[in-house]
Structure 1
Amino acid sequence: MSQYADINGFVTFTYTTLASDDNKPATIKTAVQDGGDWVDKVTFIMASNKASLVTGTVINPFNGNPVEGASVILEESSSSKHHFFDRATTVDGSYSIAMLPGSYLINFDINIGDANPYEGAYSGSHTELRKDGTIKLRSELQLSQGQTHTFNSQRVILTGIASNFPAGTEIYFTPIGTQKHH
């Protein structure tokens, strides 16, 4: 399907779902002219009466700036099925994704470029910092039907200074009264 913008820059199109599309996420991609460049923009939709909405903002944990073009991956806890939303964040770092209710692991793939203040790489159970300037963050997420859930990437980032720990030590933060690690 191809549509062109009107004189005001608006595009109207109709996407008709089939029965086989029910409860499946879909991606709408557009090419937007920005000066002499064409920029790809994506929107994620789902045809469902059961959907939950996951929204949030992805930030660079080292400088607090929003991250445009971060990928969001939702992994179903029961089946390990992955739902990839490539370049899901906008220029202000925000994203909005419709998913079916359930238990998921939410993963953020963030390119921080030269903002990494550390040398080398780090790999833990919830965070991976790579030498190439990318970070992978992972956390648990429970989605309920008809609800909007806000999940910001910084919820899984804590900064501070700790000393006298041997190399490779992982630190977990557990809310009082639970056994869940954050």
Structure 2
Amino acid sequence: MEKAVINQTELAIYQGDITDCAVDAIVNAANRSLLGGGGVDGAIHRAAGPQLLAECRTLGGCQTGEAKLTKGYCLPAAHVIHTVGPVWQGGNHQEAQLLASCYRRTLAIADAENFRTLAFSAISTGVYGYPIAEAAQIAVRTVKEYLIAHPDVPLRKIWFVCYDNTVAEAYSQALENKQQGDK
């Protein structure tokens, strides 16, 4: 899979289970309640244990495009950054701006907490229905833009964790900066 380096931060594709990532923080594609759900959100809550749900209950939910930090509890990751991506509604309801905001807000938290390693899930590409190739382009572009604008960020490794080959290929193409349909 592809890799890129922006300033001193390595961006890489990792195909597998985000709940196995031993990093400073994993990024949960959460729902607005932050109280668990299906897909990656449910998997993270199950793997972290009941303490995660208890902490999330104190946070008052999270708006779309925002992010909130919790401990990782039973996960190998020390923390979880929960972000709420947009539900795909055809692309004319600020979905791209809201998705980019998820990545920026998450990176701002990681920066403020002096995290060195971070693993992103494929935000909004599951039940929220965001087209995978477009979501991957937004994710990679937003992360690169953030790193360029913040050259002193402590992050040294950022993984885009993909649950299957199709998602991994879309993120790999985005990291290579290929648009859908390019060869």
Name the structure where helix makes up a greater proportion of residues: 2
Structure with bigger RCO (C-alpha 8 Å, 6+ apart): 2
Greater share of strand residues, 1 or 2?
Answer: 1
| TM superposition score category, shorter chain reference | under 0.3
TM-score (norm 2): 0.28
